[in-house]
Amino acid sequence: LVYSRFLIDCAVFLSLNDMGKHLPEYEEIPVELELKPEIKEEYDKIESQYRSIMSSDRKLATKLMSKFLSLLTTYPDQPYNADAISIGENFEIKPKDLSTFEELHEKDTAVLELVDKKAANGEKVLIYTSWVKIDTQDKLKKILEDKGYRVAVLEQKVKPEKREEWVEKRTEEGLDVLITNPSLVETGLDLNAFTTLIFYNIGYNLFTFRQASRRSWRINQTADRIEVYMLYYKGVMQARAIRLMATKLAAATLVEGNFSDEGLAAMSDCCDMTSELAKALTKGIQGEVEDIAALYK
């Protein structure tokens, strides 16, 4: 019985070791970008207005928190056609329209450069957009198609059980770039055709991020390397969000006994993860971004 158990343990070990050998290299690459000065100025104005409300009327600030968080998160990606936020009966905050659908910004340029580079190397690219209420998916599809790429957008109307087949069909037809919300592919799908993944923006759900970021990092992946890029603007809510995700990831990997100081986890500012995890459980995780690029290095 002991000998049989020993043989089983050896078989399991060899199997796991063999699995590890077949997994490709995997790297998460945060990319910090600069907002145009006029957009950053308007963003700072909106944030300042909310801070003022917090100082003067906590009850109203709590009521408006969701709307402000949504606005502050998405405005850098779409600084036009933003919904106004009503403050009482006779006053509202209406962000300035400082761009158009046709104008390219730093994230759009970064995406184009990455797609050009990867396509030249014969690779396909998967782009995640977490905020589907803004026009990012349509904009990316247009600018990529204008450059001659074959692009498809996987939407929620495609049934979960049909999504992998849907993607495979378009890949066979010569698809270069797939655009989708990460929540639509977070479980059950192998997307091995796409060796570069780009988070155009990132949500707050750690499970969704971890699952979506590994759709191509599979045992049956034949490519040597998978790269995951996370784009965000410096000094705004997006930077705080990605820092929060980094902290949550570092805490999760600590609990799992598999702590990593690379990729997204490297952006966590936790020095003593045990105490920080305790703080997170009792007070919530808060973080300000000083210099994420330096922390990442």
Say how many CA atoms lie within 13 Å of 250 toward its Cβ.
Answer: 25
Pick the more confident residue, 288 or 93: 93
Q: Is 151 helix (H, G, I), strand (E, B) or coil?
A: strand
Burial 36-74 (b: 16+ CB within 10 A, else e): beebbebbeebbeebeebeeeeeeebeebeeebebbbbb
Distance in angstroms (rounded) separating the CA atoms of residues 115 and 145: 12
pLDDT of residue 263: 59
Q: What is the pLDDT of residues 61-109, one digit of tens each?
A: 889 988 998 999 999 999 999 999 998 777 899 999 999 999 999 999 9
Distance in angstroms (rounded) separating the CA atoms of residues 296 and 268: 9
Distance in angstroms (rounded) separating the CA atoms of residues 297 and 293: 6
266 pLDDT more than 80: no
Cα torsion 264, 151, 167, 19 to 10°: value is -40
Asked if residue 143 lies in contact with residue 108, where contact means CB atoms within 8 angstroms, the answer is yes
Question: What is the average pLDDT across 26-31?
Answer: 91
Taking the complete model, does pTM exceed 0.85, yes or no? Answer: no
Q: Is 205 helix (H, G, I), strand (E, B) or coil?
A: coil
